[in-house]
Amino acid sequence: MRIDPASGTRQGFDLEHEIGCLVPRHGGGFVAGLAAGLAYVDEAFAEIEIFAAPEADRPGTRFNDGKCDRSGRFWVSSADRKEAEPLGALYCLNGTGELIRTVSGVVTGNGMSWSPDNRTMYFTDTGVGAIYAFDYDIDAGDICNRRIFTTVYESEGFPDGCTVDAEGFIWSAHWGGWRITRYDPGGGVDRVVEMPVPNVTSLAFGGTGLDRLFVTTARLGMTDQEIEDAPLSGGLFALDVGVRGLPEMPYAG
């Protein structure tokens, strides 16, 4: 689905592939993480070219979330479809098309972002309820020194998509938690934004001033009663949270 927040115009595209994530390419179109692998997609969503299938031998996984660093590398994570076993991984696709597996043993690879100074990369594994931090070399695209940035208790849901604002604070969506959390750079909770739906999936800053926080939610797996209790589930929200975001980069390849 493509939505213009200013005009309210909506377009829907029926695709034969299950898309986990989609990022614009510098030259037009998109690069996507599919259940079947990584693909180039044209702007009309009419042509999909799968160019890499690094987990073809793992039918129980799918690509889930992805984002570009500020040099235009595409970082993309995979997940165990049952969200139980560490079958997934984190990959980096550089501008030349070289795909590198950087982290293995991931249960449900999810939200990722970078600090404003590009020295820290954040990566979420929903399956273990943790957001990790890595030291990041923006010139080489290398990560090292993985550590726990924060752990989310099951009573608060599970960490899903994330983004970083211009002040260097990390915003994380909570699947099953009815909330968004803003963390300070040290991993402490700065604020919690309650949501009227349980399954908050991801978030990104947008608008002309990058001053609106757009939040996606889901109703996947909810019963009729749960949907009746939270009828806005599956909706797209736009919030004024009093801070600005940072520009997102297209894929350089």
β-pair partners for 42: none
Could you tell me which of 84, 86, 98, 122 has the C-alpha nearest to residue 38?
Answer: 98
Ranges assigned E (strand) in 69-156: 74-80, 88-93, 99-106, 109-114, 120-125, 130-137, 142-151
Measured distance CA(31)–CA(251) in Å, rounded: 7
Nearest C-alpha neighbor of 156 from the set 130, 178, 188: 178
- Give the catalytic positions in this structure: 160
- Do the Cβ atoms of 86 and 101 come closer than 8 Å? no
For the CA atoms of the chain, what is the radius of gyration? Answer: 17
Work out the end-to-end distance of the chain between its first and last CA atoms, rounded to an integer number of angstroms. 24
Q: What CA–CA distance (Å, rounded) separates 82 from 107?
A: 9
Q: How far apart are CA 203 and CA 29, in angstroms?
A: 22
Helix (H) or strand (E) holding 45: none
Rounded to 10 degrees, what is the CA torsion of 192, 237, 198, 227? 160
